[in-house]
Amino acid sequence: MAKIYSSNHLVMQTIMKKGCIFILLSISMYISSAQKTWFVGGSASIGYLNNFTIALEPQFGYEFTDRFAIGTGIGLTVVADDYYTDVVGVAEPFLRFCLWHNDRIFIDLKATGGVGFTDELILCQVGIRPSLRFRINDHWDISADIGLLGAQYSYSVGWRPAFGITATSAGLWFAYRF
């Protein structure tokens, strides 16, 4: 038995199709008009506390708006003392969400998941990092990560909670926005 559609049903289908197209176009126009930009940056550090450490971690990502960004840091850390020298690779993807900002100062939360490895996995961490970011001008930012709330894994200890400010959870970053 063939279905017979009333003219009202066909009119409603047409309105629904046009409404869906209108909503999709509106969303795409909003997304395309939002401030979107690539950024590159990173950090470098040298330190000595029981061993000598040099770290270099370039960072790159994409800002969808001034409130939301996604990116990753990929770098190397060299640790040396009297008995050994070890090179550790680091990868730390992140999502950054701005809680508050004015023209120059931003208070962010970064959701991170990072790994450090030599020939085997030696450190893994997941968590949230509070961050304070200062916009120097239209292109340059400086950012300070302040601690970690989450969990860390190391091959020697296993999983443990991570809370507070340590040498691996604090950092100073520079970024250039295109």
Residue 168 is classified by DSSP as T
pLDDT the model gives residue 107: 94
**pLDDT value at position 134?**
95
DSSP secondary structure letter of residue 159: E
Per-residue model confidence (pLDDT) at position 18: 63
User: Cβ neighbours of residue 133 under 8 Å, at least 6 residues apart?
Assistant: 105, 106, 107, 108, 141, 142, 143, 144
Contact 38, 46 (CB under 8 A): no
pTM over 0.85: no
Taking 50 as the pLDDT cut, the residues of the chain under it are 5
Q: What integer pLDDT is reported at residue 66 of this predicted model?
A: 81
The class (CATH top level) of 37-177 is mainly beta
